[in-house]
Amino acid sequence: MLADDVYARAVRSLIPPPRLHLSKWIEDYIVLPAGASALPGRMRLYPYQREIADALSDPEIERITLVKASRIGFTALITAAIGSYISNDPAQTLVVLPTESDCRDFTISDLEPTFAASPVLRNALKVEAGETDRNTILSRRFAGGSLKIVPARAPRSLRRHTARLLFIDEADMPASPLPKVTRAN
């Protein structure tokens, strides 16, 4: 009887946990630090953010394009999604922001503080002994993948990067001509 119980527990331990929707994972595991959010503490998503998060993690969706207002929590959402992928499905990840100073600011003001405040991510991007030459403020390696944060202004910075996950924030869209309006006399 004891052997059966041990065998049953061993088999149960091999079953992976249920796959959470990204929105649920974010709300369960991401903590926003006081300096990086107007609402510090456990991250709570608004309904529109839930929809975006779940679309980000849907394997049937290849590309998501948003035309959005500023200050809607999209950068926090990207940071949380990056954390989820690093924690649960590591891959080569590329983040594209407008300028190099935006890239540095994202890392220092958003990414690092959120990872430090979230227990599940606290050590995810820590530099291992002997790895200091491979990790920089804009390029990090982790088990199973890497994270590179590059500016979009210089096309040269987009060369030579292979990524399964691509996040682009604050991309300027080319202006489209406005339709001509004619008045009926």
| pLDDT for the residue 15 | 78
Residue of 135, 30, 159, 141 lying closest to 93 (CA atoms): 141
Q: Residue 126 to residues 83, 131, 132, 136: CA-CA distances in angstroms?
A: 13, 10, 10, 11
Q: How many CA atoms within 13 Å lie on the side-chain side of 101?
A: 0
User: Which pTM does this prediction carry?
Assistant: 0.81
Distance, CA of 146 to CA of 23 (rounded, Å): 23
pLDDT exceeds cutoff 80 at 98: yes
Distance, CA of 134 to CA of 117 (rounded, Å): 24
- 16-31 per-position pLDDT tens digit: 767 789 999 999 999 9
- 127-169 per-position pLDDT tens digit: 555 655 578 889 999 989 999 999 988 777 788 888 999 999 9
Distance, CA of 105 to CA of 111 (rounded, Å): 9
CB 102 within 8 A of CB 111: no
SS3 41: strand
CATH number for 20-168 (one of 1.10.3720.10, 3.40.50.300, 2.40.240.10, 3.40.190.10): it is 3.40.50.300
Domain ranges within the chain, ordered by starting residue: 20-168
